[in-house]
Amino acid sequence: MTNNQKMMKAAGFMMAANLVSRLLGFVRESLMAGLFGKTAATDAYNTAFILPDLLYWLLVGGVLSAAFIPVLSEYIAKEKEKEGWKVVSSVTNATFLLLCILVIAGMLLTPKFIEMQVPGFSPANKELTIYLTRILLLQPVILALSGITMGILNSYKIFWPSALGTVLYNASVILFGALFANSGEARSISGFAFGVVIGATVNFLVQVPSLRRVGFRYYPMIDLKHPGVRKIMVLAVPMIIMYTLNQFQVIVNSNLGSALDPGSLTAIWYSYRLFQVPVGIFALAIGVAVFPTLTEQAALKKAKDFLETISSAIRLIIFITVPISIGMVVLRFPLIRVLFQHGEFSAGDTDIMAVPLLYFSLGITAQAIIQILPRAFYAMQNTWIPVILGLIAMAASIIWMYILVGPLACGGLALAVTLGAIMQMLLLFIVLRRKLGKIDGRRIAAVFSKTLAAALAMAAVVMIWANLLTLWVGIGKMGSTIVLISGALVGMLVFFIVARLLKMEEYQMAIEMLIKRRK
């Protein structure tokens, strides 16, 4: 089996697992929407994640994505696993201790952080946000252990334990949210927060048995002078800076959104998570699957294979995400009605949420490609370039937030994120091409043009179909479900027919990936 075939098989499995996880995520969001609607309580819950996420990405997320996996993969490729385990142990121990200190500090400083973050919240809602934040601050330490375990297994090209862990994570949130939630009591939304902490624990524990199978060795040491540890520290510094400053964008978003009508932040968060589904299912799965191969090819100086891996991944992502992006724009109203419009979530809430979802959907392909391009730099153990480009795009996105929030309200905040993603994608393409000498640009551009043509043909047919069918079945839950499912099926059929007529290589790649996943 070739490297590409192995990557496609791994990506196919990751997509299937991510699909199940995302479906459970929809159940979670739908359950919360039905119990609490789009209210101040859900604004508080979504806001409560910002500080815990900041601490996690500060010490773990950037280290894993940019430094930990490439360095460990290099040790594995060069058959120096014993030294690799010493590096793993040192990084794990240092991260755990620092994170514990930061979590304790975060617990103490939560009130001041929330006051700065969402000054527009009412006193009662600030108090609820503080309570929820302190619960969720238990998560980063557990998530750090889970993330490091995932990084180790991914370096060995083992992906299923972490994929299973995310499924169990969402299941735990649903279970505890349903058990403790009471729509008449805002504070009962804490059941979802406790579910997050328990889910993170389950996510970690389910991966532990696989560590023994790869020969994991633990050393009670922190050797900051070890060459591997120093390399990880050097590679991680720019990522830590980027992820820390990136939270400033989230804070600005929350700050501006808190001054809008109650529930506006929830509309943005729900829309963001909805448009992130295809990014998580497809782009992230492909990115995770190709990353160990990219790091191996970079370590062994296989430049031609390295370029082909990047090109294949990007072309496949374009083929998958462009029709999804356009399809989500066309079918966004029945999509929201089916997933969210019940209980306390009204038809008016659907109309409001459809606005940010429209603008987020336009950036799906850009967000998806961003899952690949920075990994090419990380594989070459160059983290500063994608960080600098990301910070430029983030600064532009924040400026657009201030400009667009006035005329477009929550839609303006969503559009600003999309414009920032497009800018980041273009900058990454330009710089990577200069670094590699070429980026297979003509093939990528040809795939984008053909995919866009097929997707627009699909959109025209689906729009006509959906409008005619809505007149017959209505906009209730059942009618919207019929329109959504039939529209998606009609759209897929039209898109694949046009893609096949255009003789697109990516059509065959997608089919092969699905077939290999089943084997």
Predicted local distance difference test score (pLDDT) of residue 223: 86
Give the span between the Cα atoms of 393 and 424, in whole angstroms. 5
Is 222 domain-assigned?
A: yes
Q: Does 330 reside within a domain?
A: no
Coil/strand/helix, residue 340 = coil
What average pLDDT score do residues 378-407 get?
89
Instruction: Return the top range by mean pLDDT from 113-127, 180-194, 277-291, 422-436.
Output: 422-436
Separation CA 260–CA 322 (nearest Å): 31
Buried b (16+ CB within 10 A) or exposed e, 490-508: bbeebbbebbeeeebebbe
Residue-number span of the structural domain to which 226 is assigned: 51-254
Please give the structure tokens belonging to residue 501.
């007529």
Place of tokens 């998958």: 320
Structural domain includes residue 345: no
Q: What is residue 347's predicted lDDT score, i.e. its pLDDT?
A: 84
On whether residue 76 sits in a domain, the answer given is: yes
pLDDT (tens digit, 9 = 90+) per residue, 35-61? 777 677 788 888 888 888 878 776 666
Identify whether 275 is part of a domain.
no
In a domain, 318, yes or no: no
Token look-up 């997509």 returns 15
- Pick from 419, 439, 421: which is nearest to 430 by CA? 439
Q: Give a yes or no: residue 65 inside a domain.
A: yes
pLDDT at 345 over 90: no
**Measured between alpha carbons, how far is 106 from 101 in angstroms, rounded to an integer?**
9
Q: What is the 3-class SS of 131-152, one letter each residue?
A: HHHHHHCCHHHHHHHHHHHHHH
- Rounded to whole angstroms, the Cα distance separating 16 from 215 reads 27
Q: Which two tokens stand for residue 242?
A: 């980027």
> What pLDDT, on the 0 to 100 scale, is given for residue 517?
47
Of all helices (H) and strands (E), which one includes residue 255?
A: helix 227-258
> Tokens 């089916």 correspond to what residue?
338
Band (pLDDT 50/70/90 cuts) for residue 34 is confident
Nearest to 25 by CA among 17, 13, 36: 17
Please answer whether residues 141 and 56 qualify as being in contact, where contact means their C-beta atoms are separated by less than 8 angstroms.
no
Smallest CA-to-CA distance from 181 within 344, 294, 61 is with: 344
- Per the domain annotation, does 397 fall within a domain? no
Q: pLDDT tens digits, residue range 223-250?
A: 888 888 888 777 777 777 777 667 677 7
**Number of domains present in the structure of the chain:** 1
Three-state DSSP state, 302? coil
